[in-house]
Amino acid sequence: MLRCFVSRCLLTNPVAGQTRKMSRGSLAGSQSSLAGKVAIVTASTDGIGLAAAQALGQRGAHVVVSSRRQSNVDKAVALLQSEKIQVTGTTCNVGKSEDRERLVNMTVEHCGGIDILVSNAAVNPFFGNIMDSTAAVWDKILDVNVKAAFLMTQLVVPHMEKRGGGSVVFVSSVAGYQPMQALGPYSVSKTALLGLTRALAPELAQSHIRVNCVAPGVIKTRFSQALWQDEDIVDEFKKQLSIKRLVGEPEEIGGVIAFLCSKDASYITGETITVTGGMSCRL
């Protein structure tokens, strides 16, 4: 059963589970904090990726969104344009080298450079006992969730260096800290992103490029709906939370990502921020 993968964490410091609204003053101050920046966000036509694109765009960045399907790209571009966000969209399967190169080249050609990479793309083609997973499953998950994240970083770094620096944010998961039994290979791939963040940060700091990571808990997206729509899992997760609201909203992750890309986070690199509602989970 799904609930068997929910690990037990200490419950400490309960607080009210209310989403805090930004004041008009703080919103006005944030609207131009990324003006002139160009941000690539992978897998960005829905869920956390779209929320990240919105948060970056609302702060003045020109965002480049992508998805494997053109119809999804068109919908996301139309939405962002309706919100007065500078946006360019294209299809991209980050698991394919030619698509990664085309995404980066198109961004440089249309936008003049790259300042920010948010690596959000992930797959999970397997559900069940980890010992039943196959080599093909591991290849697919690691190719997209880990290898492509690194290779995208490798492609954008020279362009960031030309602009004097930049910011890379990997989207991991609480599963990277507390492996989910039914999602073993996926959980391992998310743990790998924590290590990739720490490995890249000191090397890229020499080029004034910061590398950080966000590890969301259960967020209300289509990708995780099998979790938050199951009442048994809901009840089990609530025992682990300090904030008694089971699911976070994509916008809450988008805001953290935008912060990590901003000058407000200029002294932060090699770190992972967990956004989990207070789950006391660490490696």
Q: Going by C-beta distance under 8 Å and a sequence separation of 6 or more, which residues neighbour residue 222?
A: 46, 47
Catalytic annotation present for 177:
no
DSSP-derived pairing of the beta strands 38-41 and 62-67 = parallel
Residue reference for tokens 């800290």: 177
User: Catalytic pick from 5, 170, 186, 237?
Assistant: 186
User: DSSP string of the chain?
Assistant: -GGGG-------S-B---PPPPPHHHHHHHTTTTTT-EEEESS-SSHHHHHHHHHHHHTTPEEEEEESSHHHHHHHHHHHHHTT--EEEEE--TTSHHHHHHHHHHHHHHHS---EEEE--------B-GGG--HHHHHHHHIIIIIHHHHHHHHHHHHHHHTT-EEEEEE--GGGTS--TTBHHHHHHHHHHHHHHHHHHHHHHTTTEEEEEEEE-SBSSSTTHHHHT-HHHHHHHHTT-SBS-S-B-HHHHHHHHHHHTSGGGTT--S-EEEESSS-----
Sheet holding 166-171, edge to edge: 87-91, 62-67, 38-41, 116-119, 166-171, 209-216, 272-275
Q: What is the distance between the alpha carbons of residues 170 and 215, in angstroms, rounded to a whole number?
A: 9
Q: Which residues are identified as catalytic?
A: 186
